[in-house]
Structure 1
């Protein structure tokens, strides 16, 4: 049977799904173990997240990992993503990054656990907890998987919970530029700064935008804000693009459309517009972050050529 130290690793689970002629029927699931409790295990498979009651598990074991990017590639992309989403309050714990931004988004208010924290793991987590408690915030840690599997295992032992699994997906720019879009769609207006209605649309989805949020959104040297308006001038789609990292990644974030304008291909349209902008700035690759449970968005990005580079869990300390 699997143990907590297997969390974050690739596993195969054989489960009992029924009985035929007094013989059990089995099915196998292969994926990344993202949670293990006293009653259930959860794995992220190519088809989605699967929760399996332990009573149904016939056999389960860790298997060799699929072909994955090297740890250095994961760290480089995580640091590029951090640079594109710069929390205004920052500190270092060895190579770990401590970040705070008035509790606006988990990315900007969690410690990024990559590299060596320059102290034993338990002491590093203690230091993270003190840093966030001193700022009146709930401690959170962003743990890329499987790179931070030891961190996840230790956090499990300390009773930390996890937000839904996030996929960090990448794609070459070429298929994004070649994406077919409807000819009748209004143009994608790319501006150096967001309009008031752009902020309002993002706030409707992400909640009130504190000063720290504005600093995150505008605090990157190379960024652009996509606006799509209908014939009446009403904003119907937005997104943000930012270029960061020594490898010059295009980071795509906050892609949203109004409910009335969905199913028209606006998401594809906006992504192509951001890719065209990035291509003019000597960029060849893009990334984005999407919750694994957001099936519609994951499907769209897959059609555009995105695939999962790695995953991460945002872990939260127990409430006092």
Structure 2
């Protein structure tokens, strides 16, 4: 049991919360022990302050103090800010995202930091949150920080999607390697023709998709257009609030009839020049590992893999 010397430290407390089918039901609380009396313990979690009567406690112990975020965790938070799901909630420090099913990034939990409960209870809560919204529960697990989560969801029968690479490059390298300039139009809001091109690439664009696409105020929507105004190549670049050094690139696509002409690189380079002028110094993007054509396009611009992630999906209920 905990004592006065544990006050001010992180602890985990297991308490009996009821009975189900003639068996006791337990719940775990993870946080900082802020007070301790003969009758109860008080724990500050990432969500609230909880007073636990000693009579309910079956086990309590100190756990290691919270560590500093890794480079992978930091960049994942930057990327999440650049692709803002219209519905978001916190599970401790984990981020829950929903966007009517449009893209895995917009409809998966991002398990970074402390969920404020045990891992098993956290995954249970993820399953409930997505089921309540009629969405398949998903968790995006970055490598290498999500090893324990991978074990947990594997044991539950969740299935992995193909890996996605998170690549980064210095903006100076991107612009230097771009080669001859091709005229690219940059708009502060996405034109209808630009949205139509993205819809052709991603399928339909529900309202949630448009809210993600336009959810970052400081953004540019790059396009190369034919004489009749139809889009040939498009891309999106954002600098999310609180992360002024990073340009986030997404939705870069070229019409199949116009590929292998350097248009995709021209779109990326134009967004890099805009972002550099706004004070950014680095860029990131996310590309499926199996999309070898896109990986090959980004490599000459200086993009290298920073880390990878896998999105896991729960089996049907």
Normalised by the length of structure 1, the TM-score is 0.76
| Preserved contact between residue 141 and residue 315 of structure 1 (Cα < 8 Å) | yes
| Preserved contact between residue 177 and residue 300 of structure 2 (Cα < 8 Å) | no
In the alignment, which of 236, 257, 264 is matched to residue 240 of structure 1? 236
Size of the alignment, in residue pairs? Answer: 249
Match of 1:124 in 2: 122
In the alignment, which of 286, 291, 295 is matched to residue 294 of structure 1? 291
CA RMSD of aligned residues (A): 1.3
Question: How far 1:208 moved relative to its partner?
Answer: 1.0
Question: How far 1:300 moved relative to its partner?
Answer: 1.3
Question: How far 1:199 moved relative to its partner?
Answer: 0.9
Give the secondary-structure state (helix, strand or coil) at the position aligned to 2:70: helix
User: Over residues 182-220 of structure 1, what are the superposed CA-to-partner deviations in whole Å (9 max), with x where a residue is unaligned?
Assistant: 45x4x1100011111111111111121111111111111
1:215 matched to 2:211: yes
1:200 matched to 2:173: no
1:155 matched to 2:157: no
Which 4+ runs in 1 deviate beyond 6 A? none
Where in structure 1 are there 5+ consecutive unaligned residues? Answer: 1-69
In the alignment, which of 67, 73, 77 is matched to residue 75 of structure 2? 77
Distance 1:105 1:180 in 2: 29
Match of 2:304 in 1: 307
| Preserved contact between residue 87 and residue 101 of structure 1 (Cα < 8 Å) | yes
User: Over residues 39-64 of structure 1, what are the superposed CA-to-partner deviations in whole Å (9 max), with x where a residue is unaligned?
Assistant: xxxxxxxxxxxxxxxxxxxxxxxxxx
Match of 1:9 in 2: none
Question: How far 1:71 moved relative to its partner?
Answer: 4.7
In our comparison, the structure showing a higher alpha carbon Rg is 2
Distance 1:79 1:266 in 2: 30
| Preserved contact between residue 222 and residue 236 of structure 2 (Cα < 8 Å) | yes
Distance 2:178 2:195 in 1: 28
In the alignment, which of 248, 252, 267 is matched to residue 251 of structure 1? 248
Distance 2:291 2:243 in 1: 30
| Preserved contact between residue 69 and residue 113 of structure 2 (Cα < 8 Å) | no
Question: How far 1:247 moved relative to its partner?
Answer: 5.1
Normalised by the length of structure 2, the TM-score is 0.76
Question: How far 1:159 moved relative to its partner?
Answer: 0.4
Give the secondary-structure state (helix, strand or coil) at the position aligned to 2:128: helix
User: Residues 301 and 71 of structure 1: is their aligned pair in 2 closer, same or farther, counting only changes over 3 Å?
Assistant: farther
Where in structure 2 are there 5+ consecutive unaligned residues? Answer: 1-67
Distance 1:235 1:164 in 2: 29
